[in-house]
Amino acid sequence: MANNAKTALLCAYTLAKAKQYAEAEALILSHEELAKTPEAIDLLARMRLEEGDEAEARRLWQSIQAVYPEHAPSRTALKLIGKRPVKINWVSILAVLLPVLFCVGFFSGASITKAPQPNVTTVQWDKIPTQAKLDALSVYKGNVKRVCIASHFFSDPDRIFSRQLLTEYVGKALDLPASAIFIGEAPEALGEEAITVDLLRQ
């Protein structure tokens, strides 16, 4: 679950940056472990602030401080909220998330947020999939609205064409436009050629 949660948080960040807040929140809350982390709750709070719900943003940040008083981003946000308009700097948020994801790891403290969990299906391949494996995705056609693909394989610039082809084939199999398919950062524990595909279902 930890590896999927890491991928989900980065995908949620990508969705939030694109102002797809409902999808980002659904993705976070679909992973029980992820929904407990201060990083995910902080991202939820910032999305609430962007939506104009200052009271809920404050409540979320306070809930982080109640369990993780050492969490600096939420402590700083609480000092600033209400004093002056807070503009969300998504680049700075990503800069905070990455070292947490790949160096510190996730906390496993008590759950802070509770919400109905949407359907998220994770498919994992040990290497670039065969056509038969791609065709197998068609069972989800019409029921998926977002896809996040992650793999270390794609970090090599020489493999950009392979990434584009896979994205295209996944889109065709699910009948989704390219705008609904995101490329996320792969967790360190994922094999060199392994690929995970998170399907956010409707």
Class of domain 2-104: mainly alpha
**Token code pair at residue 68:** 């993780």
Q: Whole-number mean pLDDT of the chain?
A: 78
46, pLDDT greater than 80: yes
- pLDDT at residue number 84: 53
The residue-averaged pLDDT of 189-195 equals 83
Window from 84-88, 102-106, 141-145, 152-156 with minimum mean pLDDT? 102-106
Strands 144-150 and 181-184: parallel
- Give Cα separations from 63 to 87, 112, 117, 143 (angstroms): 21, 7, 20, 34
* Pairwise pLDDT comparison (92 vs 100), residue with the higher score: 92
CA distance 46 to 44: 5
Handedness of CA 191, 98, 31, 15 (dihedral sign): negative
The region, left, alpha or beta by phi > 0 then psi within -120 to 50, assigned to residue 175 is: left
Residues 109-153 pLDDT 10s:
433 343 444 577 888 898 888 888 888 888 888 888 888 888 887
All structural domains of the chain with their residue ranges:
2-104, 120-201
* Pairwise pLDDT comparison (116 vs 43), residue with the higher score: 43
Window from 80-84, 123-127, 163-167, 197-201 with minimum mean pLDDT? 80-84
**Token code pair at residue 11:** 């995908």
**Token code pair at residue 29:** 């809350």
Residues 2-30 pLDDT 10s:
556 777 777 788 788 888 888 888 888 88
- pLDDT at residue number 72: 84
CA distance 183 to 147: 8
- pLDDT at residue number 15: 82
> From edge to edge, which strands make up the β-sheet containing 195-201?
120-125, 195-201, 144-150, 181-184
- Give Cα separations from 24 to 55, 168, 193, 201 (angstroms): 20, 22, 26, 13
For the chain, how many helices (H) and strands (E)?
9, 4
The residue-averaged pLDDT of 85-104 equals 50
The residue-averaged pLDDT of 147-173 equals 83
200: Cα within 13 Å, side-chain hemisphere: 26
Class of domain 120-201: alpha beta
The pTM for the full model equals: 0.51
**Token code pair at residue 45:** 């709070």
- pLDDT at residue number 2: 56
